[in-house]
Amino acid sequence: KSCGFMLVVGGPGCGKTRLACNIIRELGDRDALYVRQAELTLALRASYGRKDVVLHRHPQRDDDEATDDQPPTALEIVQGVRFLVLDEIGCNPLANDERLLLDELIKHRYEQRKPTILISNLPLDQLKQFLGDALTDRIVDATGNRKFLLQFSGESFRRTTGENYLEGLR
């Protein structure tokens, strides 16, 4: 569907990222992006010196109508992409500025009803502590009140398969 979130939690190596990457592959050439939380927060921090960073998505412009030579910011890219997979949520602690940016990103995608998969190795109670009550409430609502909340369990498959399922997605 063209809206809603899927929240996928469970231990490392049990197939969460593989599932999300397979969904991206099924979308074909549609506008989709896979990014890890730490990678995203580093990219957002790198944009701090730019004066055009805003916490909302600008309306789409044709290239001919663009009034500046600046490429879109990392925040604009992840807010605007049609389908986003945000992986490894909670693997690294967030500074206050990083928490604010992650919060704004998830709120924006929630309000714009953009399909988003959120992946974490944290159990649900720890993820709620990491994200906070308000953001967790939005995510639960966007998952259809847990209809699209998947909890993976079991041993890690990573060591036995030798597959690189991220290949071609970056």
- pLDDT, tens digit (0-9, with 9 covering 90-100), for 68-100: 567 788 888 899 999 999 999 999 888 888 888
- Dihedral angle of Cα 60, 63, 65, 69, to the nearest 10 degrees: 100
d(CA 3, CA 120): 20
Helix (H, G, I), strand (E, B) or coil at 11: coil
Query: What is the helix (H) or strand (E) element at residue 7, kind and residue range?
Result: strand 5-10
Query: Is the pLDDT score of 33 beyond 80?
Result: yes
Distances in Å between the alpha carbon of 27 and those of 61, 84, 166?
24, 12, 15
pLDDT for 88 equals 95
- Report, as an integer, the average pLDDT of 31-44: 90
Task: Enter the tokens of residue 163.
Answer: 């597959």
pLDDT of residue 61: 43
∠ at Cα 101 (90, 121), nearest 5°?
15
Specify the amino acid at residue 78. Answer: V
| Alpha-carbon distance values, 87 to 6, 26, 67, 116 (Å) | 12, 18, 34, 11
Residue range 35-48: mean pLDDT, rounded:
85
User: Rounded CA gap, 167 and 147, in Å?
Assistant: 30
Kind of pairing between the strands at 116-120 and 32-36: unpaired
pLDDT of amino acid 160: 66
What's the rounded mean pLDDT across residues 51-69?
A: 47
- C-beta neighbour count of 139 within 10 angstroms: 22
Per residue in 112-137, pLDDT (tens digit) is 999 999 999 999 999 999 999 999 99
The residues, ordered by sequence, that sit 6+ positions from 146 with a Cβ below 8 Å of its Cβ are 140
Look at strands 116-120 and 5-10 and give their pairing: parallel
Average pLDDT, the chain: 82
